[in-house]
Amino acid sequence: MIQISQDVIDAVSTGFNVPSKPQLLTDVQRICAQDEPDMGELSDVIAHDIGLSSAILKTINSPSFGMNRAISDIQQAVMLLGFNAVSTLVAGILIKQSFKGEAAISFERLWDNASLVADTMVYIGKNIEHKIPPENLYTTGLFHDCGIAAMSMKYPDYRNTLIEANQREDIRLVELEDQRYASNHAIVGYFITSAWAIPRDICQVVLQHHSRDFLDQKQDSYAKMVYSTLKVADNIVNNLKRRHDTTDWVHIKDKCFEHLGIMEHDYLDLLEDIDEQWNAAF
C-alpha cells in the first residue's frame, strides 16, 4: 500500500511539470456540478472543440462500449450517458493531449498502450456480473500510467529505467523509480488525477495500481473492482503484445478474479475474445 509522505508531496509539487487542468475540462466540470445542469450549455461547450467531440463520439460508438444504437451528436451522448459520465470521459480524452515537449519516451506509444488497456477494461466490465460505469473504466485505463509521461519529461534517463525494469525480474518499475528518483509514476499520476478533479475512486486506483496488497486493505469495494478490472486488462494487453504476464500478475490474479466474480477459464475466454477483436481490427 503506497503511503505519501510530506517529502514526496513537496518533491512532486515542486519538481514535476504536471499539466494544468484544461480550461475546457474546468468548464465541463463546472456545468456538471450545478444543481440543474444545462444539457444545451454542456453540449455547446464540448461541440465547440471539434477534436474532443469527435473523440467522444468515436469512443462511445466503439465495439468496447457496445451501445445499442449509434450516437451521432454530443447532445445525444449527454442524454444517454448522463452529465457525470460525459465529464469523466472528457477528462480521459484530454489527458492524452496535455503532455507536450521533449521527453525520454514516445508519448504516442504510451497513449496507444493506455488506450488498449482502457478499451479492454470496458470490455471486461461488460462481461462481469458487477456493473461498473464504462466511462469510469475507460478513464482509469487512460490515466493509470499518466505519471510515466511526467517522469519521462523530467528525467532524460527515464527510458533506460523503463528498459531495465522490463528486463529484470527481481525489481518492479515503481521500486526502481523510487530508488533512482525518490518517487514513482503511480504517485505522480495520483497528483495529476487529483489536480484534474477526477473522481476520488479513480485517483486511488491510479495511486495504488502497483500495490499488491490493495485488495487486502479496508477500501471501498467499488475501488477494488476498478483496480481488479485494471489489473486483468493490463495483463491481457501485456500477454497479447509481449506474450508474457505482468510482474504483478502472479501475486494478485486470484484476488482480482474473486472481486470480479470470475474464474481462470472466464479470464482465458476474455483473453481469447479480445485477441479475436484485435485480429479483426488490425
Mean pLDDT on 251-256: 96
203: cell is 485517483
Q: What pLDDT does residue 1 have?
A: 57
Residue 209: DSSP 8-state: T
Q: What pLDDT does residue 35 have?
A: 92
Q: What pLDDT does residue 160 have?
A: 97
Kindly report the backbone phi and psi dihedral angles of residue 225, in degrees, each rounded to the nearest multiple of 5, phi listed first.
-70, -40
What is the DSSP secondary-structure string of 88-121?
A: HHHHHHHHTTS--S--SS-HHHHHHHHHHHHHHH
Query: What does the mean pLDDT of the chain come to?
Result: 90
The sign of the torsion formed by the CA atoms of 100, 209, 24, 50 equals positive
Dump pLDDT digits (tens) for 154-203: 999 999 999 999 888 889 999 999 999 988 999 999 989 988 999 999 99
Strand extents, DSSP E, 208-264 = none
Q: What pLDDT does residue 2 have?
A: 59
Specify the CATH architecture of the domain 103-282: Orthogonal Bundle (1.10)
- Alpha-carbon distance of 44 to 66, in angstroms, equals 25
Q: Which residue has the higher pLDDT, 224 or 81?
A: 224
pTM: 0.90
Pick from 5-9, 66-70, 169-173, 202-206: least confident: 5-9
Query: Which of 3-7, 76-80, 104-108 is most confident?
Result: 104-108
207 has a pLDDT exceeding 80: yes
Please name the residues in contact with 47: beta carbons below 8 A apart, sequence gap of 6 or more. 53, 73, 74
Domain ranges of the chain: 18-98, 103-282
Please name the residues in contact with 108: beta carbons below 8 A apart, sequence gap of 6 or more. none
Q: What pLDDT does residue 77 have?
A: 87
Dump pLDDT digits (tens) for 266-275: 999 999 999 9
Mean pLDDT on 223-242: 96
Q: What pLDDT does residue 67 have?
A: 73
Dump pLDDT digits (tens) for 90-103: 999 999 889 888 89
